[in-house]
Amino acid sequence: MSSIRPVKQARKALLWLLIVFIIATGVLVAGAATGKTAWGPKLALDLEGGTEMILAPRVQGNQTINQEQLDQAVEIIRQRVDGSGVSESEITTQSGRNVVVSMPGTPDQATRDLIQASAAMEFRPVLVSGAYEATPKDKRTAKAELPNPKDEPKNASDTSWVTADLYKQFEAYDCKTELAKGSGEDADPKKPMISCDTGTQAKYILGPQEIPGDQISDAYAQLARGSNGSVTGEWVVVIEFNQQGTKTFADTTQRLVALQGAQNQFAIVLDGETISAPTTNAVISDGRPQISGGFTQETSQALAEQLKYGALPISFDIQSERQVSATLGADQLKAGLIAGVIGLVLVFIYSLFQYRALGLVTIASLLVSGILTYLALVLLGWGMNYRLSLAGVAGLIVAIGLIADSFIVYFERVRDELRDGRPLASAVDIGWGRAKRTILASKAVNLLAAVVLYIVAVGNVRGFAFTLGLTALIDLVVVYGLTHPTLVLLARTRFFADGHRLSGLDPSLLGVEPLYKGAGQIRRFGENAEANRGKKNAKASGEAAKRMTIAERRRAEALQSSQPGKQESKAQEENNE
């Protein structure tokens, strides 16, 4: 009876593995058929070719950078890179300290500068506002009518900042073409500048800087409250200035509130671009201005994020920059794959040599692990944008040995149990019980190493740790779902149970004395070892024979007569001892 349960469990485990396999394949086929994912895993830059920059953020003073600020920095870089027309770039953070920018091809100097530059946020008063596009040539202001200020400007809002040259430049300025160029150079805070507002499609001449961005202590979005304190349902952005900012902002609003038209506005400028240019409705002396006007929850939160980022200007040092030619990438991938195939074939040959037919179980398990890993890599590439790097490929190749080891540990345990004189079916069950513990403990060590490596890693160590951890998990799935169930079922076939010479579990080769073993009689570990020792052997076997029940003795005799050849070889072995 005891043999029926393991068989049922084995069939169930195989069925589960099959279900997992079918689902994963189904998802992949569906994804690939609808064009949402490719058939292969996504490749990292070193295999595909392209540029990778690892940037270390640098903050003014001795402030440390936190994850939130780093995330905002990434957001800013992403906007800059996307704005410069480079498609398919990927920007991620690494171990909470570095920003990694990967893009296909080679970026030009402008893009490179853009990525490195610090995001400078500032508040400037608006002097003149105009259309987003350049004024058509025939409609531009005649030379005589251009502003020609004589006096030195008295404050930042003074229109005498607008010189004839600046005004001419302003009229000729086409926001669309200028932004596409990705200017992004830092404007002098003491001088006026031209700035575009992509949101409201306007361009401005702005006065000199009134307040630098680092005087913002916080910014957040909230629902506005009416004068009676009830929520009005309108989204607003609240800025909180620090002490100095509060004072300056009070002075600025005092001046702006009295002015008319565009001069009533102040612009919030990020990277030379106006992100918002609200009008001034009142003197704000508490340092907590509130920007309102047609915000949705999303737009108000986006603006608040940008303002918060302005509180901490971050620039970036290039830690390392790699440009990998597509040829080299393809070469590396090819070399990795060839190495993998050679390694796999060598392991196959060795397992067949060592374990004969059992080696086929190893090969099947390795192949299934390989297919599952492939599916996992493609699906992770699709779902999590995981990209396979050369280090990742190396991790996969190293994993071949680690996966095969689970099978070796298991098979050796089964052999040990056979040596103790158990019949194959129970040797598999008991050997599995012991091997399971060892496999789980050793995989835990592997997984721990992979997780630690992944968390602390910089650069391409990560890809390596990832595949190492992934394959440790897949190994467990395969050992539980395929290797063990297969062995349970095989142990019930004649080929293996009778210990065929090529089965790899031939009891006579393993030094087993099958006659000693009665059905249902469980020998204690190590007992057989004693029985097999030197001269005591004959005596011990005699004792064992005496201990047998009549039924067992009959069975033993029947076995003896049905397998004369085996007895001979056994006798020889005893003589040899």
DSSP string, 323-358: EE-HHHHHHHHHHHHHHHHHHHHHHHHHHHHHHTHH
Asked if 456 interacts with another protein (CB under 8 A), we say: yes
Asked if 449 interacts with another protein (CB under 8 A), we say: yes
Smallest separation (angstroms) from another protein to the CB of 506: 8
Asked if 410 and 483 count as a contact pair (C-beta separation under 8 A), the reply is yes
Name the burial class of residue 470, with classes exposed (0-12), middle (13-18) and buried (19+) by CB atoms within 10 angstroms of its CB: buried
Q: Which two tokens stand for residue 77?
A: 């870089």
Q: Which one-letter amino acid corresponds to residue 366? A: L
**Nearest residue to 415 via CA among 437, 400, 401, 430:** 430
Of residues 522-551, those binding another protein (CB under 8 A): 528-530, 532-534
Quick one: which segment of 49-57, 71-79, 243-251, 259-267 binds another protein (CB under 8 A)?
49-57
Smallest separation (angstroms) from another protein to the CB of 286: 44
Q: Which two tokens stand for residue 443?
A: 């995989």
Q: Which two tokens stand for residue 329?
A: 């990438």
Half-sphere exposure of 195 (CA within 13 A, CB side): 34
Asked if 91 and 99 count as a contact pair (C-beta separation under 8 A), the reply is yes
Asked if 103 interacts with another protein (CB under 8 A), we say: no
CB atoms within 10 A of CB 136: 8
Asked if 317 interacts with another protein (CB under 8 A), we say: yes
Of residues 56-95, those binding another protein (CB under 8 A): 56, 95
Give me the 198-237 binding string for another protein, x by CB under 8 A, dash otherwise.
Answer: ----------------------------------------
- Please work out, in degrees rounded to the nearest 5, the angle formed at the alpha carbon of residue 423 by the alpha carbons of 417 and 427: 35
Counts for the chain of helices (H) and strands (E), in that order: 19, 13
Quick one: which segment of 6-14, 141-149, 193-201, 389-397 binds another protein (CB under 8 A)?
389-397
Smallest separation (angstroms) from another protein to the CB of 401: 3
Give me the 137-176 binding string for another protein, x by CB under 8 A, dash otherwise.
Answer: ----------------------------------------
Asked if 453 and 461 count as a contact pair (C-beta separation under 8 A), the reply is yes
DSSP 43: B
Closer residue to another protein (CB): 458 or 477: 458
Smallest separation (angstroms) from another protein to the CB of 253: 43
Asked if 358 and 501 count as a contact pair (C-beta separation under 8 A), the reply is no
φ, ψ of residue 125 to 5 degrees: the values are -75, 145
Rounded Cα distance, 213 and 498, in Å: 82
Closer residue to another protein (CB): 300 or 446: 446
**Helix (H) / strand (E) containing 122:** strand 121-131
Closer residue to another protein (CB): 204 or 464: 464
Of residues 457-486, those binding another protein (CB under 8 A): 457-461, 464, 468
Smallest separation (angstroms) from another protein to the CB of 60: 19
Q: Which two tokens stand for residue 105?
A: 């091809």
Q: Which two tokens stand for residue 170?
A: 């302003």
**Nearest residue to 309 via CA among 218, 222, 187, 208:** 218
Options 343, 367, 492, 498; binder of another protein; rule CB under 8 A: 343
Beta pairing partners, 220? 238
Rounded Cα distance, 85 and 351, in Å: 53
Options 79, 141, 319, 521; binder of another protein; rule CB under 8 A: 319
Smallest separation (angstroms) from another protein to the CB of 259: 45
Of residues 483-522, those binding another protein (CB under 8 A): 509-511
Give me the 412-441 binding string for another protein, x by CB under 8 A, dash otherwise.
Answer: x--xx--x--------------x--xx--x
Smallest separation (angstroms) from another protein to the CB of 430: 12
How many residues make contact with another protein (CB under 8 A)?
Answer: 86
Options 15, 223, 328, 538; binder of another protein; rule CB under 8 A: 328
Options 30, 180, 338, 571; binder of another protein; rule CB under 8 A: 338
Smallest separation (angstroms) from another protein to the CB of 97: 8
Give me the 392-411 binding string for another protein, x by CB under 8 A, dash otherwise.
Answer: --x--xx-xxx-xx--xx--
Closer residue to another protein (CB): 10 or 53: 53
Options 140, 247, 356, 492; binder of another protein; rule CB under 8 A: 356
Q: Which two tokens stand for residue 248?
A: 């300056």
Options 327, 561, 562, 575; binder of another protein; rule CB under 8 A: 327
